[in-house]
A and B are shown apart, each in its own frame.
Chain A
Amino acid sequence: MKQWIQHSERPTRAGFGEGVLEAGILNNEVVALGGDITSSVGLDLFAKAFPDRFFSLGIAEQNAIAVAAGLALGGKIPVFSTYGVFAAIRAADQIRVSLCYNRLHAIIGGAHAGISVGPDGATHQALEDIAIMTSFPNMCVLSPCDATQARLAVLAALGYTAGPVYIRFGREAVADFTTPELPFEIGKAQVMNYGADITVIATGHMVWEAIQSAVTLRNQGLSVRVINMHSLKPLDEDIIIKAAKETRRIVTIEEHQMIGGLGSLVASLTARNFPVPVFSMGINDHFGESGQAAELLLKYGLTADHITRKILSICK
């Protein structure tokens, strides 16, 4: 089993910000749009480095997304980031029509994704963004597992010119455990641990939890395959079908509603191709609430221990 070692603890939004800065250095056409919460969503690095290519648009997400479409029409590569609830949900029609229908290349950062946003509570915890964003034609949806990968996701999005890219990331400092050398390819998920008894497909912060669970279960004689589904659309169908055939059971886990999220994507794909039981772990048709991130993850059953118990109950 590959050993994943936590080399630091950082929020994924920090990696997003580094990636945007780097994209700006690599490509002069990259411009960024601010929605008032610039430093909170990681755009302050770019804004400081490239003040002439940063445009403040205030608290007006619908306008910002369609402005991004105009910039893309004019040959720019716009990056707009705000909390996922406002980007993916308030401005959904602008994303659908002005960006997706027009196949315009723009990068949208969906910050504060998941229940681990913590004390801000339900209005600020994006738990439906995957459902909405993956349903739009021409949309690409990424959900990196840590800060290192969030940076790579931005750079991959820079090269993905077929349409808009939505990148989802979190607020809290979490384990940073991947390395910059680990390739990040849109549409190609990563097997973080090879196993034959059952597969856990995780996305975002939940990948680290899944890896921890796999370590625990190995000591109890279970071999758990862990897949990091960082690319939700295009979805790596082959890796899922292969896992279904080889391990016959799949657990999915995400900081998102079970309706329309990773669990739904995996269940419908396997149902169409190679039906196996899919056990979804996520938010069960419920709004979030205030609390510390760790308390909320515990309450909503989104920790390594919960995965371990789920797998033991399935494999007993």
Chain B
Amino acid sequence: MDDQNLKELQNMSRSIRQWIIRSLAEAGSGHTGGSLGLSDVFTYLYFKVMKHRPNQPDWEGRDHLILSIGHVAPVFYSTLAHAGYFHLDELLTLRKLGSRLQGHPGKDHGLPGIELSSGSLGQGLSVGVGLAISKRINNNDTCVFVVMGDGELQEGSVWEAAMSASHHKLNRLIAIVDRNGLQIDGKTSDVMEIEPLKQKWESFGWKVLECDGNNFADLETAFDKAISNVVGPVVIIARTIMGKGIPSIENDYRWHGKVPSREQAIEFQKDLEDL
């Protein structure tokens, strides 16, 4: 990736973060920390990796993104809007009555770009397995990306899905774990230890890649390897910083499900200008 390229991605993820803050402050509730932490991953996915057509969301040749952690809807929506699925201004309707931007993604409400209504943890990887099987039957070699949280890995059904993905050798299935080390009650290591994570996935038959999820060069290396893999499913454990971009809230688990006040939002926007 050249400097120009990097600059573009950085500008895009900054704008995605700015709109996350704007939409959450307007909504008055929602999930700030994880959304900011995943902004670089989403930027890289929608602007570098995925084959998709914002003006034709149901295009047959597209890659699928399944958002298993529905609560980071703000980064998902902000990315979709930046990619051109709908107008940026609609982000200000987040969580409001009648909005297409439900608190957790709900397809019924008509927002383009949502593949699956989600919000109950531990289901997205299984859906990804089914989707990957359907693509294989159809000789369609596009990818299925599933975005999961690290706390979510405490759900047992995730491991049922992991077992079935390697059993059926689903090499176009790529899981991304948002490894920020935090969840609502605190550190994952205190709430329920999920380490040794790499070994867990490997023992379930997955190829494991680790990267800095807030570093585009690192994301590039990981996704290049993941997509060229032909053997079986791949998981990218992306180490991220919850609240990334706002120094005063970075790595603070209390910001998992808290939003800035309007005054704080102004401060946060200044932080992001300097990012």
Contacts and interface: CB of A to CB of B under 8 A. Distances in A.
Contact residues of B: prevailing secondary structure? helix
A53 interface: yes
B116 A73 contact: yes
Contacts of A103: 107-108
A64 B123 CA distance: 10
A70 B132 contact: yes
Contacts, number: 112
A63 B161 contact: yes
Given A57-B164, A74-B134, A67 B116 contact: no
Given A101-B117, A102-B116, A103-B108, A70 B133 contact: yes
A31 interface: yes
A60 B164 contact: yes
A231 B40 CA distance: 50
A200 interface: no
B180 interface: no
A62 interface: yes
Interface of B: 64, 66, 106-108, 115-120, 122-124, 126-135, 137-138, 156-157, 160-161, 163-164, 167-168
A72 interface: yes
A277 interface: no
B134 A55 contact: no
Nearest to B157: A62
A57 B160 CA distance: 9
A193 interface: no
A65 to B, nearest CB: 8
B120 A70 contact: no
B130 A66 contact: yes
A288 interface: no
A70 B126 contact: yes
A103 B114 CA distance: 14
Contacts of B107: 102-103
Given A69-B126, A70-B133, A97-B119, 13 more contacts: A31-B134, A58-B163, A58-B164, A60-B163, A63-B164, A67-B126, A67-B127, A70-B134, A71-B131, A74-B131, A75-B134, A97-B118, A97-B123
Contacts of B135: 74
A98 interface: yes
A232 to B, nearest CB: 23
Interface of A: 31, 52-53, 55-58, 60, 62-76, 78, 93-94, 96-98, 101-103
Nearest to B132: A70
A70 B131 contact: yes
Contacts of A63: 126, 129, 157, 160-161, 163-164
A53 B164 contact: no
Contact residues of A: prevailing secondary structure? helix
B134 A71 contact: yes
Nearest to A66: B126
A132 to B, nearest CB: 16
A98 B116 contact: yes
Nearest to B120: A97
A98 B123 contact: yes
Contact of B138 (A70, A75, A78, A97): A75
Contacts of B168: 55
Contacts of B167: 56, 58
A65 B161 CA distance: 11
Nearest to B144: A70
Contact of B137 (A53, A69, A93): A53
A56 B120 CA distance: 25
B164 A69 contact: no
Nearest to B161: A63
A67 B120 contact: no
A81 to B, nearest CB: 16
Nearest to A28: B137
Contacts of A93: 120, 123
Nearest to B156: A62
Contacts of B133: 31, 55, 67, 70-71, 74
B127 A98 contact: yes
A231 to B, nearest CB: 24
Contacts of B138: 74-75
Nearest to B115: A73
7 contacts: A55-B168, A62-B156, A66-B124, A67-B126, A67-B127, A72-B130, A74-B135
A53 B157 CA distance: 23
B130 A73 contact: yes
Most buried by A among B122, B124, B135, B160: B160
B54 to A, nearest CB: 19
Contacts of B156: 62
A119 to B, nearest CB: 29
